Structure 1
Amino acid sequence: MGLLEGKVVLVTGAAGGIGRECALIAAAQGAKVVVNDLGGSVKGGDAGDASAAQKTVDEIKKAGGEAVANSDSVSMKSGAENMIAQALDTFGGLHSIISPAGILRDGMFHKMPDEDWDAVLEVHLKGSYNITRAAINHFREKEEGNFVLFTSTSGLIGNIGQANYAAAKMGIAGLSRIIAMEGAAKNVRSNIIAPFAWTRMIATIPVKDETSAKRVERMKNAMRAEQVGNFAVALAAPSCTANGQIFAVRGNELVLFSQPRPVKSVARIDGWTPETILSHAFPAMEGGYTDLGATGAVFTWEPV
Structure 2
Amino acid sequence: MCKTCGCGDEAQAKITNMQTGKQVDLEGETQEHAHTHDHSLDDHTHIHADGTTHSHTREDDDDHHRHHHGGAEQGQILSLQRRLLAKNDAIAAQSRVWLQGREILALNIMSSPGAGKTTLLERTIAELKDEVPLFVIEGDQATSVDGERMRVAGASTVQVNTGAGCHLEADMIARGLMELRPSTGAIVMIENVGNLVCPALFDLGESCKVVILSVTEGEDKPLKYPQMFQAARLMIINKIDLAPYVEFDRERCLVNARRVNQNIEVIELSSKTGEGFLTLRAWLLQELARTRDETWRLSDGSRPEGLIEMH
TM-score using structure 2 length:
0.37
Structure number having the greater helix percentage: 1
Q: Which has the higher contact order (CA 8 A, sep 6+)?
A: 2
Q: Rg: which structure is higher?
A: 2
TM-score using structure 1 length:
0.38
